[in-house]
Structure 1
């Protein structure tokens, strides 16, 4: 493998460490679990190792112990601006995760955890925002090293980066996801950084070798603090540019001369070899667990001195991007009060732009007091459009007070928002309760959208019409493309996940005399596996197949032709916008959300929401310098949006394949048209068929009980299946040489959901036998193929496993045979691995799902919610 050698370039190493915390338990009820004196040794040792390593100069290494988020940001911004060759970022201190474990937060010295209605991480940096800032770096390569509990949870945000970012960013995490680790003794460094420094000072080494050797050492000598203990396994994500990066090349030493002893190797117990049980921290007390209530709640907090505490934020936050939990210094160095935190929920297609807008607002004068303090912070997150509408209209009660695992918007959508910005004006109407059911939420939508983006046909430039012929019906535009390329294909995003996908579906199905049969329309956009979840994902995965990229048109929002281009810029096919007059456009709308009983700070919250609304929508706002549009609209203009009213003129400039004036553009959709299109989409191919394979071998015993156990995961996923769908469950464990590799847990057929859930709970049992995943999957593919010979009903196979028996899948030529069968059958297989690394590149699970056109899910993300989404796409049980 080629190696990037940064020596002689303008390199920067930024070492963040937080050894002391101002607020700790039990003295402070909202404090963290304790100080971390070992971190001070980490900073000293790593600085010396890097200085001696020949890559970084003394002036190129910055050591920082940030008290506040603002201090962290200032140091990070300076390093991002200065680095031209290699930028190395290191953090050691308390890490924190919400109850879902799908987001990592880095806690600064003044961090606190405030429970209740306003339960937030104050003085904490969201990992996703760090990645966003690093994306601006001029450095040729970026390396991040995290030494904190739950460091492995950082991989989820890296995995969804665009290709351009992944090509130059490498991530080393001290431990696997959802695991706590020993902090080391007061007189020694943490175990991970002790070994990190030893390797850096021991000769020339690159990132790949460093990660491999750390993984081997830590897993052999240490265990995590999980119960029961697990081997301590550092994780890594490598830059995808095909080259390693040199991190240290110390000057050669005379033979037999040992490296300098920066500090003694530590095993987390005073330098001794690891004990039989993992090292215990000094304070062994535990805070009681609390069930989430109202708009927030707590999950168990640990009182032991560790590198992180599990912290419950308001609900289970899926896809969270936080942009303002800052504690700032006001004028004269006086500390500011923590700003009021607002929560903004939006459509997945809009999330990147709204994240930029929120970040711009947080640092604008509109959000500053006279003393320079921030008035408010904003957390931006997204969720599936159809699920969000359903949650507002029918599930506001369980959103406020979750009562079970099947319906829990706190887990599936995220915390109860103060602001909702749907991508379509009509969605706000669809979300309002129209039945006599009790509701706990009130939606106050602005009378008109503040921005607009038509849904366009993004056509490869070689197949596009001249500018004068780029407007017409969707049928006419697609037919013109087919005349130029007989093999032309058409793609559309998931109508369940984004409003843009649903609006495109309205155009595909048509209306009136020219109405198209939904099943026929769906065959026009058919593809291997499920549709892409967002327009960005669609445009960024097309270049994976050059031939398909050159002949495929995509129905996506126009603004994505400007923003979704950083994923594969070197090889992607350029696209031109054509404008179907029968596809409604996106119309982002500001909606104030009010929750019953959440009025403790009503006045302050109303003021904060109103301030952001004024800045974002331009209603009474001032014009930002250098832009013809008021504050937030300038950000939307930079991202390619148009004015929300009038002739929908562009808010910004730039040539990105769009027409500045394509003529009269379609208006927003009618709520009834969106509801009808979603219903017809779900029924397009009739009821679905799903076969669940449940690994019931002996190794699954510790992953069996409760809603997070394997049977519980299946019962929760049945929410996406209706009474007309057919499904069944096989238990995969068998005697060697037995006649079949499974036993029937639930017979395949139509079921009432509650009866099926009860049957699975009662019948699913762990057996003292091994699983044979090869034979089970081969049998499942044959079984489902026999049932799909006479119709086009959607089918899905789901295999839930801990991967302990994967050696029986890969032995001999078995895996190759199975992949060939999966490609031939074209029945999507979802591999749901209860191992956090089950879907890593090169693993059998990833290969099987890819060959079949399915998805691979593991515990790096919210496996339960994502599996339920996959099943719902096949079944008819969801509500819109």
Structure 2
């Protein structure tokens, strides 16, 4: 448990309550005013003021603000906090029908009526979260008391900020709640304040557990009649102190500043520079979300039509311009506040783009370089550096084919400024093969020229990090064997062992691992991508980066104990931000056919950038010489990297992690350009485009499980985000018995999401009839078998049901269904709207298990689980 005690720090709490709304009348008004929220603010302010963590000047109460005022107060609180930053929001919450974004409705909020959910005057939670993450605060606590608060859990922070962000939500996803008596605080906040007012220390984790217990003991119910269950989202082991009231009723004694834990091992730049770095991903992604909401990309629902394409472009452009402003301010402030003299001119700022798995190391190296003698002239800094990362495949594509659009984006579809980041001066990919891929395939009219170094400046092998209890014992089994043989041997030692790898499109780690994975998967020695991908199959999409993969595994101890991870060796030395005491210890095994990470310094020069070309060359060359020399070597040694040539010895030979070998042999050759391209093509071909056949139970018993985002049609529509325009899918309505077990709602083929959702809205109806799930599944399995007879595209059958007719197939008929499911190539995902349907021995569990699919029921987060299953097959959102 990492318990952060912020006493003695600059802690800030922003309490936002919207009790009065300007627009409450139909057709575009919010449901009404919330007088109870006024009491929330008074009660919570009092609880925090005497809690010993937030001082009197550290609490800001913001009553019924409009969206602009909210943004200003949020930004102000973020600039002032360096300990814990707390945002509390109470008011109306709204979601699109897909439930994949949460809108915090401010005073001037409206709901535009029509076919899509659009909420002018409301703040997107993803934007608020990105603004909070730009703060230098050590911990960020977000508390939401609103309808649909639990949907915020699906909106993940930037990977760099996951450890810092702790989220408390008043209710589970897709549920509305009652504000309670107008003369008292809302039920959730009343319990929250009572717990914060108690004597002694109040930790976030304890607060969550006790809130759930209190709401349960009080018999609280959501407006759907289900138990009202507060939710939380934190990284494993993370915790923060929120109160320390003394028994006398006054605040606890704050710890002196020098007694606080110092989690910052590197000199920190100004808050504005941190904001520029950390909000790039959040704001540009949020620009896409805003554009989607205003432009009609959010899913059809009961609340309103979309604006047109011009509005979408305007909002997306505004968000990107906001980032440009932040970067401009951040660069200037960074120079002014960190220079050696007030007379120093602002230093030239280098933009360094790198692979996501390398970002932490490159940033630490850049921070060390900024304060080095090599970057100082006449007492002034020579250059500043902004380090950022983007998906490896996106970076290669942008430099190869989209440099013109990078300089001047022409449309929403191709915009590297939004999808990758600013035009880089320096690119540090994870392999020299990336630079070769760009140079070999670059457009003849490209406006960016690459000047790569001849050799990489470091090396880290890709290892199979195996839980210690099931790792290979003999040295000969830990190094040199092909990856597929290592995986087979692992499963011989433990039958249920799994292997996971980060996304090959997002980081070179995943793509390099895929080279070895595909090489050994064919019976004749030829690569077999489908068979290879089956070895690393997992529920949901792969983790974007190796660090996130290692962070995600401890979420489930059973999974952590049996799952090996393909990650760079250096992470076993440097660790990851979410590291905790309960993490399963791992041993590194070194496959003989997986190339390693070899970061390469690549200078990028842009046409039309002649004015400061010489100065920019000098700045880039200065950083290159330092990074490839002694200074960079020391920074890379601290993170566990190896020498790039020779026997590739560890740069730090004094402190060697127990999990790694000092001199594994042999270490495989560098990745080739063609091997990288072939592996990426094989991965994409094996994982999409896909085919999905949805079966929607439309029998009479579904009437009570039909409406809203958590009803049968709503869940199905949420999952469509995992499908792209190259995927094929169809929807059957399952009801009736005998020969006619289903009706076609959407014919099998390619569909836009908008058209598919419209068809479901118009055609999906509950029928006054039973259903024959076994008959419908038989026909679905036959149909998918015929469609997949001539190719190896991935397929999936999804059956959304309330299980009222689950017991209908029995005896030989059910046994035959299980045999058919097991003999086919198409997995079946059984999605039950009732809890317990996936318990061992239940029909849903048996069907999914026989087919190699997944069973999910109401005891899980159905929306997220179903989306993940579809995203594994499709080429859409992950």
The alignment's TM-score, normalised by the length of structure 1, stands at 0.58
In the alignment, the residues of structure 1 paired with residue 344 and residue 192 of structure 2 have an alpha-carbon distance, to the nearest angstrom, of 37
Superposition deviation, residue 313 in structure 1: 1.6
Does the 8 Å contact 1:402/1:408 carry over to 2? yes
In the alignment, the residues of structure 2 paired with residue 711 and residue 483 of structure 1 have an alpha-carbon distance, to the nearest angstrom, of 37
Say if 1:588 and 1:315 are closer, same or farther in 2 by CA, change over 3 A: farther
In the alignment, the residues of structure 2 paired with residue 693 and residue 321 of structure 1 have an alpha-carbon distance, to the nearest angstrom, of 48
1:485 — aligned with what? Answer: 493
446, 449, 456: which is aligned to 2:463?
A: 456
Superposition deviation, residue 587 in structure 1: 1.2
Residue segments in structure 1 that go unaligned for 5+ positions in a row = 20-40, 80-86, 94-99, 105-121, 135-141, 179-189, 222-232, 254-286, 301-310, 722-726, 832-838, 850-854, 858-865
In the alignment, the residues of structure 2 paired with residue 517 and residue 14 of structure 1 have an alpha-carbon distance, to the nearest angstrom, of 56
Superposition deviation, residue 714 in structure 1: 5.1
1:386 aligns with 2:396: no
1:503 — aligned with what? Answer: 512
Say if 1:381 and 1:45 are closer, same or farther in 2 by CA, change over 3 A: farther
Superposition deviation, residue 700 in structure 1: 11
2:421 — aligned with what? Answer: 415
Say if 1:558 and 1:375 are closer, same or farther in 2 by CA, change over 3 A: same
Does the 8 Å contact 2:390/2:421 carry over to 1? no
474, 480, 489: which is aligned to 2:482?
A: 474
In the alignment, the residues of structure 2 paired with residue 780 and residue 388 of structure 1 have an alpha-carbon distance, to the nearest angstrom, of 45
Does the 8 Å contact 1:453/1:586 carry over to 2? yes
Say if 1:481 and 1:102 are closer, same or farther in 2 by CA, change over 3 A: same
Q: CA RMSD in A?
A: 7.2
Within 5 A, what are the aligned runs for 1:331-350? 344-350=352-358
Within 5 A, what are the aligned runs for 1:117-196? 126-128=131-133, 130=135, 133-134=138-139, 143=141, 165=163, 170-172=166-168
Superposition deviation, residue 380 in structure 1: 1.8
Superposition deviation, residue 820 in structure 1: 1.4
797, 817, 833: which is aligned to 1:810?
A: 833
In the alignment, the residues of structure 2 paired with residue 478 and residue 693 of structure 1 have an alpha-carbon distance, to the nearest angstrom, of 39
Superposition deviation, residue 671 in structure 1: 0.3
Say if 1:198 and 1:761 are closer, same or farther in 2 by CA, change over 3 A: closer
1:691 — aligned with what? Answer: 693
Say if 1:844 and 1:164 are closer, same or farther in 2 by CA, change over 3 A: closer
Within 5 A, what are the aligned runs for 1:453-852? 453-461=460-468, 463-467=471-475, 470-474=478-482, 478=486, 481=489, 485=493, 487=495, 489=497, 491-493=499-501, 494-510=503-519, 515-518=525-528, 522=532, 525-529=535-539, 532-533=542-543, 534-542=545-553, 553-564=564-575, 567=578, 569-593=580-604, 599=608, 603=611, 607=615, 611=619, 614-615=622-623, 618-620=624-626, 629-630=631-632, 633-652=633-652, 654-656=655-657, 657-663=659-665, 665-683=667-685, 688-691=690-693, 717-721=723-727, 727-730=728-731, 743-747=744-748, 766-767=762-763, 769=765, 785-786=781-782, 787-788=784-785, 793=792, 795-797=794-796, 809-811=832-834, 820-821=845-846, 823-826=848-851, 842-846=860-864, 849=865
In the alignment, the residues of structure 1 paired with residue 11 and residue 433 of structure 2 have an alpha-carbon distance, to the nearest angstrom, of 47
CA shift digits 1:541-578 (9 cap, x unpaired): 55567676556544332112224566564444433323
What secondary structure does 1:650 align onto? coil
Does the 8 Å contact 2:100/2:151 carry over to 1? yes
Does the 8 Å contact 2:715/2:862 carry over to 1? no
Aligned residue-pair number: 709
844, 859, 874: which is aligned to 1:871?
A: 874
Does the 8 Å contact 2:74/2:131 carry over to 1? no
Does the 8 Å contact 2:12/2:80 carry over to 1? no
Which one has the bigger helix percentage? 2
1:229 — aligned with what? Answer: none
2:303 — aligned with what? Answer: none
In the alignment, the residues of structure 2 paired with residue 549 and residue 125 of structure 1 have an alpha-carbon distance, to the nearest angstrom, of 29
Does the 8 Å contact 2:331/2:349 carry over to 1? yes
Does the 8 Å contact 2:357/2:507 carry over to 1? yes
1:434 — aligned with what? Answer: 441
What secondary structure does 2:433 align onto? helix
What secondary structure does 1:313 align onto? helix
Superposition deviation, residue 425 in structure 1: 1.2
In the alignment, the residues of structure 2 paired with residue 579 and residue 701 of structure 1 have an alpha-carbon distance, to the nearest angstrom, of 52
What secondary structure does 1:580 align onto? coil
2:23 — aligned with what? Answer: none
What secondary structure does 2:511 align onto? helix
In the alignment, the residues of structure 1 paired with residue 766 and residue 685 of structure 2 have an alpha-carbon distance, to the nearest angstrom, of 39
In the alignment, the residues of structure 1 paired with residue 320 and residue 707 of structure 2 have an alpha-carbon distance, to the nearest angstrom, of 30
What secondary structure does 1:642 align onto? coil
CA shift digits 1:108-127 (9 cap, x unpaired): xxxxxxxxxxxxxx9x9854
Superposition deviation, residue 686 in structure 1: 10
Superposition deviation, residue 393 in structure 1: 3.1
1:446 aligns with 2:453: yes
CA shift digits 1:407-461 (9 cap, x unpaired): 5455983335414332111012213463767545544433332221112233444
2:11 — aligned with what? Answer: 14
CA shift digits 1:701-720 (9 cap, x unpaired): 999xxxx9998995994345
1:50 aligns with 2:48: yes
In the alignment, the residues of structure 1 paired with residue 327 and residue 467 of structure 2 have an alpha-carbon distance, to the nearest angstrom, of 33
Does the 8 Å contact 2:464/2:590 carry over to 1? yes
In the alignment, the residues of structure 2 paired with residue 374 and residue 201 of structure 1 have an alpha-carbon distance, to the nearest angstrom, of 50
Say if 1:44 and 1:336 are closer, same or farther in 2 by CA, change over 3 A: farther
In the alignment, the residues of structure 2 paired with residue 56 and residue 870 of structure 1 have an alpha-carbon distance, to the nearest angstrom, of 51
Does the 8 Å contact 1:529/1:828 carry over to 2? no
Does the 8 Å contact 2:235/2:578 carry over to 1? no
CA shift digits 1:52-94 (9 cap, x unpaired): 3xx41787985699999999889644x4xxxxxxx6745899x
Superposition deviation, residue 651 in structure 1: 3.2
Does the 8 Å contact 1:323/1:379 carry over to 2? no
In the alignment, the residues of structure 1 paired with residue 171 and residue 559 of structure 2 have an alpha-carbon distance, to the nearest angstrom, of 39
What secondary structure does 1:522 align onto? helix
1:353 — aligned with what? Answer: 361
CA shift digits 1:715-755 (9 cap, x unpaired): 9943454xxxxx322166989999656533222xxx6x68x
In the alignment, the residues of structure 2 paired with residue 4 and residue 582 of structure 1 have an alpha-carbon distance, to the nearest angstrom, of 38
Say if 1:360 and 1:840 are closer, same or farther in 2 by CA, change over 3 A: farther
Does the 8 Å contact 1:509/1:518 carry over to 2? yes
CA shift digits 1:776-811 (9 cap, x unpaired): 99888655544359989464448799x9x9xx9535
The alignment's TM-score, normalised by the length of structure 2, stands at 0.58
In the alignment, the residues of structure 2 paired with residue 531 and residue 398 of structure 1 have an alpha-carbon distance, to the nearest angstrom, of 29
